[in-house]
Structure 1
Amino acid sequence: MPFRNNLLCLLVILLSTQIMLSSSVLGQQIIKQTPAEKVFYAWLTAFNSGNAQQLEAYKATYHKKWEVQTMLDSWERTGGYQIVRIEKSEPLNLTVLMQEKESDALHRESVTVDTTGNDVAVKMMIEDIQRPSDLVISRLSQSEAIHSLIQRADTLTNAGRFSGAILVASGNKVLLKRAWGEMDKEKHILNTAQTQFRNGSMNKMFTAVAILQLVEKGKISLDGKISDYLKDYPNKDIAQVTIRRLLNHTGGTGDIFGPEFDVNRTNLKDNADYVKLYGTRGPDGTKGFSYSNYGFVLLGEIISRVSHMSYYAYIDKYIFKPANMSSTGELPENVHLPMRAPGYMRVKGTWVKNDETLPYRGMAAGGGYSTINDMLRFVHALQSGKLISKTMLDLAMKPYFHDTPSGYGYGLGFELYGDKQLTSFGHEGGADGMNGELRVFPKLNQVIVVLSNLDPPSAHRLVEYYSLRMPEK
């Protein structure tokens, strides 16, 4: 259940009135002369306010179809933006480099204004980018990086932006293992290193490894089609998609979340139920990489058919047990687990339990639970050859997709980041009331895992924070 992977967000704003604005943004007096500047600073002022009334006023003036709640949710995630620099300024075009106030994430916003018609038409595009060379954050020593990460987690926890657990390891040596915040806000039970957090799409790594195990056993071919393993699959176009394309999200198989999921949420009890619900649906029309939860549901059902075991039994026997992951699983939500943390989502400024958004249980696309200790055990088992061979692991780390501006890539069931010494693999998972991320740096022999029972990007921003400051040697 992903949060990120919104590598490119497009906002099209139709303006029906002349733009007249105030003159103060971010505490600086700004003379707004061009149409493009006026549009940008109007948006930034309203967005950074985090105030529904200001955003409603902006909507009324500039964009009648604009959802105020969408911008409020984005403000909750980012804390607002601060301008790093203006990269280009022309009367009808503006490009601005911005940083999120609560993380190191950089975004480039491009504004284009068209004044040829009766109305002023504006296109605003925001994209994730990597840090330019002149804005690279200085690397710290190992002890300094850990200390800085602890301080950042303290700050975010005190601000109500983090609740969870962090583990950093170098080989077999644990450099940091600590928990922050409350596991249960109502009972004021604190998180510990043993707290079980819902890990969302991090489960995709387990599904991918299971498929690769079956490939090594000769029971599945990466170039085999869905129809080779699910012979009764209803939609003939989707049936032609290969296993490889399911693993790297290029199969066009679409998502599972939306109105149909909301109606059937508690009745979808295993991967087969999802296939019954969505199996007649055709390709989603996307070309190339398009993150697909349903694609991994299909992989889960293929695992079951080929192994003659339930998906859950297979994952438990061939991944969790060999890796000694005794605190990881996908038991239904109605099964009481005393160490499974409730998830809390932000609704109109208040923390609310995410119970009404959860599936019946986790499945092949995500939704299980784990601990920081178990995720480290998974890494050790994966890298030691207990789960798949080194050759197969290397194949899984081959980038089938790479977005140059953001640096985000995807292999066979694993997200890929960085290059050279800082090359890493892992996966993030996120949905309402849950966020987790694992990153493994093979060349540096380091691992960081952060799990949280709050909305994204509560865990991701701390993984990024450490990744940008950890020593390169």
Structure 2
Amino acid sequence: MLCSPQPKKLNYTDETAFPKGRIGTVTQKIISTINSNDSDTIKEFIETNFAEDFQNMAPMEAHQGHFLNYYRRTGGVSFHSIRTYDPKNEQETILILKDNNYGSWQKIRFSFVDEEGLLLKGIGFSPAETPTDILESNISPEELIEETKKAVEKLSQLDLFSGAILVAQGNDILYADAKGEASKRFHIKNNLDTKFNLGSMNKMFTSVAILQLVEKGLIGLKDPINQYVDETWLPSGITSKITIHHLLSHTSGLGSYFNETFWNSSRALYRSIDDFKPLVQGDSLAFEPGERFGYSNTGMLLLGVIIQKVTQQDYFKYVAHNLFEPAGMLHTDAYEMDQPVENLAMGYERSENSYGWTNNLYKHVIKGGPAGGGFSTVGDFHRFAMALVNEKLVSKASLDLLWTDYSNAGYGYGFTIRQSPSGQVVGHSGGFPGLNSNLDIFLDQGYVVVVLSNYDGAASPLAKKVSHLIDRL
């Protein structure tokens, strides 16, 4: 059952004075570069201020596109504060900014190459929680829905959101709507039963499936994975060091199979889990298992390998029978994108071509898997959330394992975890060119917010906007 409201103490503080020294210098550069909305300015900023390793992570056009898309989504940003989390990460600076389109809070993380210079090692963009110095007026549940509707309408009119949204409290759906087009080619509108690509949200399904096997005594969290993953995937010198716990918590040291080979290959090559084997073979560890958090698509893929090995079933059939069916998720699966699945949204990203858009058909995997890429609806995700909190899929003890932060990275077993003014929030987001998705389950307040979009970067900001409104109830 859902818990009664018990707001928790926040684990961060905000300092609103504009920073001095090298942090202030770089902060000003970052903000002015974003707000320039200019490709040449962005290029100069990247080439002048970032380490070579970061620059080589993607073509310059991709770096430029990331900044330009960030400006398009936010409408520009202004400085609000420097945030410090407890425990503090001494190597990272966190900017809190306010965006113009949503009136919401944005977070930019950056770190330096060394302790003296201005050269940056990396940068990350994400939504942020409300700053600690902001005292916003309370709103009623009715105002929550009214403000959510206004935000959806505004973003739809600006063509910043295409997709579907659902807000519920417990089993009661308070608001649900769909905007935009599932197909721009044929001008087919999205509706509440449209199936959207999930990106990494599939990681929740895989992790719940693993905990089901743990409950049945078929595997153990401390088991080294060489018991289940043979050397056609990775040498035992690597797999003997990694446990199932490491894979679930992204502390294995493995990376991502979305590597150069994948990007240069036909998507038609990858349908079954075993098809991804050539992308994993030859992988090495970025760090010793258990040493730290490192988000890993390969780790989640190997959990799918373990599920197949232990159950002697196809991964997709197992999750369909043991998760989707008991939860009542009738419109969720890893649908193959070259088949005529009804009411399946095509993903779109902005483009400089004459149409203004490019679909993601030739970028995305042709069939999703344990790490992401399946399809679902907002209604099915509401049913998934209810099945979880009502212990229909796994026990309370397993939920506690799923929703424990193991490395102070805001991540448990296949679920993100955060503390908001309204209490603990768990879920997961997903992103890829042409798609963005987000599930938030407010464990203390009982709210469930699902936003699925066939525009890249469009779901998470809207989900965060609703989260801020819930915090004000």
Q: Shared fold (TM-score greater than 0.5)?
A: yes
Amino acid at match of 1:173: D
**Which of 331, 353, 369 is equivalent to 1:327?**
331
- Cα deviation, 1:262-301, whole Å, max 9, x if unaligned, reads 2333212222222343133221237411110010100001
Amino acid at match of 2:313: M
- Cα deviation, 1:348-387, whole Å, max 9, x if unaligned, reads 4722100110112010001000001111111122222221
Name the counterpart of 2:79: 84
Q: Partners of 2:401 and 2:51 in 1: how far apart?
A: 49
- Tell me the TM-score normalised to structure 2 length: 0.82
**Which of 66, 72, 90 is equivalent to 1:73?**
66
Amino acid at match of 2:67: S
Name the counterpart of 1:15: none
Q: Which has the higher contact order (CA 8 A, sep 6+)?
A: 2
Question: Is the 8 Å Cα contact of residues 428 and 439 (structure 2) preserved in structure 1?
Answer: yes
Aligned to 1:283, what secondary structure does the other structure show?
A: coil
Question: Is the 8 Å Cα contact of residues 138 and 469 (structure 1) preserved in structure 2?
Answer: no
Question: Is the 8 Å Cα contact of residues 418 and 424 (structure 2) preserved in structure 1?
Answer: yes
- Which runs of 5 or more residues in structure 1 are unaligned? 1-32, 89-93, 404-408
For residues 333 and 218 of structure 1, do their structure 2 counterparts lie closer, same or farther at Cα, with a shift above 3 Å needed? same
Superposition RMSD on alpha carbons, in Å? Answer: 3.1
Q: How far apart are 1:323 and its partner, in Å? A: 1.2
Q: How far apart are 1:333 and its partner, in Å? A: 1.3
For residues 432 and 136 of structure 1, do their structure 2 counterparts lie closer, same or farther at Cα, with a shift above 3 Å needed? farther
Q: How far apart are 1:64 and its partner, in Å? A: 11
Q: How far apart are 1:246 and its partner, in Å? A: 0.4
Name the counterpart of 1:272: 274
Larger radius of gyration: 1
- 1:360 correspondence with 2:366: yes
Amino acid at match of 2:212: Q
For residues 53 and 423 of structure 1, do their structure 2 counterparts lie closer, same or farther at Cα, with a shift above 3 Å needed? same
Name the counterpart of 1:11: none
For residues 439 and 111 of structure 1, do their structure 2 counterparts lie closer, same or farther at Cα, with a shift above 3 Å needed? closer
Question: Is the 8 Å Cα contact of residues 137 and 469 (structure 1) preserved in structure 2?
Answer: no
Name the counterpart of 2:182: 183
- Cα deviation, 1:116-137, whole Å, max 9, x if unaligned, reads 9xxx855587566643311254
Aligned pairs (5 A) from 1:361-376: 361-376=367-382
For residues 234 and 256 of structure 1, do their structure 2 counterparts lie closer, same or farther at Cα, with a shift above 3 Å needed? closer
- Tell me the TM-score normalised to structure 1 length: 0.82
Q: How far apart are 1:85 and its partner, in Å? A: 4.4
Amino acid at match of 1:362: G
Name the counterpart of 1:389: 395
Aligned to 1:222, what secondary structure does the other structure show?
A: coil
Aligned pairs (5 A) from 1:168-317: 168-232=167-231, 233-240=233-240, 241-264=242-265, 265-285=267-287, 287-317=291-321
Amino acid at match of 1:212: L
Q: How far apart are 1:171 and its partner, in Å? A: 1.4
- Cα deviation, 1:174-229, whole Å, max 9, x if unaligned, reads 10011111111122211110100001111111111111111111111111111111
- 1:467 correspondence with 2:467: yes
For residues 281 and 463 of structure 1, do their structure 2 counterparts lie closer, same or farther at Cα, with a shift above 3 Å needed? same
Q: Partners of 2:118 and 2:100 in 1: how far apart?
A: 29
- Cα deviation, 1:274-331, whole Å, max 9, x if unaligned, reads 2343133221237411110010100001101100100011011111111111110012
Amino acid at match of 1:221: G
Q: Partners of 1:81 and 1:415 in 2: how far apart?
A: 27
Question: Is the 8 Å Cα contact of residues 99 and 105 (structure 2) preserved in structure 1?
Answer: yes
Question: Is the 8 Å Cα contact of residues 109 and 124 (structure 1) preserved in structure 2?
Answer: no
Question: Is the 8 Å Cα contact of residues 403 and 417 (structure 2) preserved in structure 1?
Answer: yes
Q: Partners of 1:82 and 1:161 in 2: how far apart?
A: 16
Aligned to 1:134, what secondary structure does the other structure show?
A: coil
Aligned pairs (5 A) from 1:36-51: 41=28, 43-51=30-38
Amino acid at match of 1:161: L
Question: Is the 8 Å Cα contact of residues 349 and 455 (structure 2) preserved in structure 1?
Answer: yes
For residues 136 and 195 of structure 1, do their structure 2 counterparts lie closer, same or farther at Cα, with a shift above 3 Å needed? farther
Q: Partners of 2:230 and 2:95 in 1: how far apart?
A: 52
Q: Partners of 1:215 and 1:111 in 2: how far apart?
A: 39
Question: Is the 8 Å Cα contact of residues 230 and 302 (structure 1) preserved in structure 2?
Answer: yes
Q: Partners of 1:34 and 1:415 in 2: how far apart?
A: 34
Aligned pairs (5 A) from 1:305-454: 305-348=309-352, 350-403=356-409, 409-419=410-420, 421-454=422-455
- Cα deviation, 1:31-52, whole Å, max 9, x if unaligned, reads xx99886765455434312122
Q: Partners of 1:236 and 1:296 in 2: how far apart?
A: 18
Q: After superposing the two structures, state which structure 1 stretch, 375-384 or 190-199, moved more.
A: 375-384
User: Higher strand fraction: Structure 1 or Structure 2?
Assistant: 1
- Identity rate of aligned residues, in percent? 32
Name the counterpart of 2:14: none
For residues 122 and 225 of structure 1, do their structure 2 counterparts lie closer, same or farther at Cα, with a shift above 3 Å needed? closer
Q: How far apart are 1:96 and its partner, in Å? A: 6.5
- Which runs of 5 or more residues in structure 2 are unaligned? 1-19, 84-92
For residues 121 and 269 of structure 1, do their structure 2 counterparts lie closer, same or farther at Cα, with a shift above 3 Å needed? same
Q: Partners of 1:443 and 1:422 in 2: how far apart?
A: 6
Q: Partners of 1:63 and 1:200 in 2: how far apart?
A: 28
Q: How far apart are 1:151 and its partner, in Å? A: 0.9
Question: Is the 8 Å Cα contact of residues 360 and 433 (structure 2) preserved in structure 1?
Answer: yes
